[in-house]
Amino acid sequence: MAGAIGWIRHQAESIDKLYGEVAPTGQQALGMVLREPLGVVASIVPWNFPLMMTAWKIAPALAAGNSVILKPSEKSPLSALRLAQLAREAGIPSGVFQVLPGFGHTVGRALALSMDVECLAFTGSTAVGKQLMQYAGQSNLKRVFLECGGKSPNIVFADCANLDRVAESAAAAIFYNQGEVCIAGSRLLVENSIRDAFVAKVVAAAERMQPGDPLDPASFMGAMVDSTQYERVMGYIRQGVEEGAALRAGGEEVEGPGLFIRPVVFDGVTPQMAIGCEEIFGPVLSVFGFETEDEALALANDSDFGLAAGVWSQDIDRIMRVTHRLESGQVFVNNWAGGDQTMPFGGVKQSGNGRDKSHHSLAEYTQLKSVWIELS
C-alpha cells in the first residue's frame, strides 16, 4: 500500500518534468521534438503485489496524458476495482481510467488484438508476454512493454563481509512473499571455499522464515496463491530430488488447512536441472558452487532470463567487473532488491523489454513528433 501511494505521488510530481527538445539548427529553421500521449493504454498486471504493480503501470500512463484500461489478474481483482471507485471519487473523468476484470485468454486477448489500443503494458510470465507480442503484430503494431519472468542469480564471493547478514539477505531474497516474486533470488551462487558454512547459515535463516497466518505480523510467509500454483511448486520440489539435488531444508507437506510450503533449499544444483533453470515462483532456493569469478559469471549468465542479479563482495574492482559483465537489467551490490522510485525496473533477454519506475517509464508512455519549421 505504501509503495503504491508513493509511486502515484512521484509520477504526479513528474508530470511537468519531462520536456521536449529544440534541435541545434541554424538561423534558417527551428527544429522541435515534441512528446505526445500514445492514446489508449491497456495494462495487464499479475496477482502478486496486485496494487503496487497496478500503480507502476497506470501512474506514468495517466501522467503522460493517456487513457488506461486496466485488466487485473482474475485471481486478485478486488483492489483494482476499489481503485477505480476511488479514481471516480477523486475526479478522474469517466473513461480515462477503467478496470476490466476477466481471464487472460478472453479479456487480455481482446485488449491485445484491439485496433483501438495503442500500447500494451504487461507484467507476468514470459510465455504470455510472447503471446501478447504476437497479438500486437496481428493487429495494429501497438507498442508492447513487457516485464516477464526471472531466474535471478545471487553471487556470494568469499571476500564478502558479515556472512550472517548476507545469509539472512540471501534467504529473504527467495522466501519473501513465499517466493512469488519476479526478482526472487532463486539461484544462489557461492564460492566453494565458504560454501558449506554459508549454506548452513542460509538453512538456519530459512528455519526462521516459516509460513503462517498471513494476517499475523509475525508470519514471514503466507499461503500460495491457489492450488494450481501449490501443485506446480511441489512438483518442482519432487523433480529436484529425482534429479539428484541435495535437499537441505523443507520439502515436506505442511499439516492442517491452507496451501503452505516451507522454505526449500537445494544444494549441488546444476544448470541442467529443472530447478536450476526454470522459474518456479515459489519458496525454492537452488544453490550452485563456483571456484573462479569467470565461472560465477558463466553460471549467472547461463539463463534465458535477465531480470535481476546480486553481487556480494568487498572488492570494488571485482564489483565493477562483474556488474558490467552480468546480463541483467538490474544489479544489486551488497543488498537485494534495493532501489526507490528514481530507479528504473525491468529486464533483458526473455525477462522483457520495458521499464517501470523512474522518469524512463513516463517517457515510454509518450511518442515523439518531429517538427521542422522553415524561417524566412
Does residue 252 surpass a pLDDT of 90? no
Share of the chain above pLDDT 90, in %: 95
Whole-angstrom Cα distance, residue 329 to residue 150?
Answer: 11
Residue span of the structural domain in which 90 resides: 2-148+352-374
Q: Are 26 and 102 in contact (CB under 8 A)?
A: no
What gap in Å lies between CA 289 and CA 269, rounded to an integer? 8
> Could you give the maximum distance between any two Cα atoms of the chain, in Å?
83
> What is the reported pLDDT for 25?
94
pTM of the entire structure?
0.95
- How many other C-beta atoms can be found within 10 angstroms of the C-beta atom of residue 292? 10
- 17 and 38 share a domain? yes
Q: Select the more confidently predicted residue: 253 or 286.
A: 286
pLDDT in tens, 23-67: 999 999 999 999 999 999 999 999 999 999 999 999 999 999 999
Residue among 116, 120, 109 at smallest CA distance from 95: 116
Same domain, 55 and 202: no
- Positions marked active-site: 147, 182
pLDDT at 255: 82
Task: Give a yes or no: residue 345 inside a domain.
Answer: no
pLDDT at 254: 87
Q: At 30, which CATH number?
A: 3.40.605.10
Q: Which three cell numbers stand for residue 319?
A: 564489483
CATH, residue 300:
3.40.309.10
DSSP code per residue over 56-68: HHHHHHHHTT-EE
pLDDT at 193: 98
**Mean of the pLDDT values across residues 81-91?**
96
169 and 310 part of one domain? yes
Average pLDDT, the chain: 96
The answer on 159 and 143 residing in a single domain is: no
Same domain, 249 and 133: no
pLDDT single digits (tens) 209-238: 999 998 899 999 999 999 999 999 999 999
Same-domain status, 301 and 283:
yes
Distance separating alpha carbons of residues 313 and 190, to the nearest angstrom: 11
Task: Please tell me whether residues 9 and 90 are part of one structural domain.
Answer: yes
**Are 102 and 182 contained in the same domain?**
no
Residue among 306, 105, 309 at smallest CA distance from 189 = 309
Mean pLDDT of the 302-316 span: 98
Residue 210, domain member (yes or no): yes
**How many of the other CB atoms lie within 10 Å of CB of 189?**
26
Q: Are the CB atoms for 41 and 143 separated by under 8 Å?
A: no
- Same domain? For 125 and 254 the reply is no
3-class secondary-structure state, position 31: strand
Quickly list DSSP for 212-227. Answer: --TTSTT-SB---SSH
Residues 112 and 183 in one domain: no
Instruction: Decide: 39 and 118 in contact? Cβ < 8 Å.
Output: yes
pLDDT at position 257: 85
Predicted confidence (pLDDT) per residue in 92-147, tens digit: 999 999 999 999 999 999 999 999 999 999 999 999 999 999 999 999 999 999 99
Q: For residue 342, tell me if it sits in a domain.
A: no
For residue 269, pLDDT over 90 is answered with: yes
Rounded average pLDDT over 331-356: 96
Condensed to tens digits (0 to 9), the pLDDT of residues 162-171 reads 999 999 999 9
H helix or E strand, kind and range, residue 27: none
- Same-domain status, 132 and 193: no
Residue 182 lies in a domain: yes
H/E element holding 162? none
Domain annotation covers residue 340 = no
In a domain, 270, yes or no: yes
Within a domain: 362: yes
| Distance, CA of 139 to CA of 136 (rounded, Å) | 5
Please give the DSSP secondary-structure letter assigned to residue 342.
T
pLDDT score for 167: 98
Q: In the chain, which ranges are E strands?
A: 21-22, 29-37, 40-44, 67-71, 97-99, 119-123, 143-147, 153-156, 187-191, 246-249, 264-267, 284-290, 305-306, 309-312, 331-333, 348-349, 366-374
Total domain count, the chain: 2
* Residue 344 belongs to some domain of the structure: no
My answer on whether 66 and 199 are in the same domain is no
Give the mean pLDDT of 281-285.
98
Residue 144 to residue 131: CA distance in whole angstroms: 11
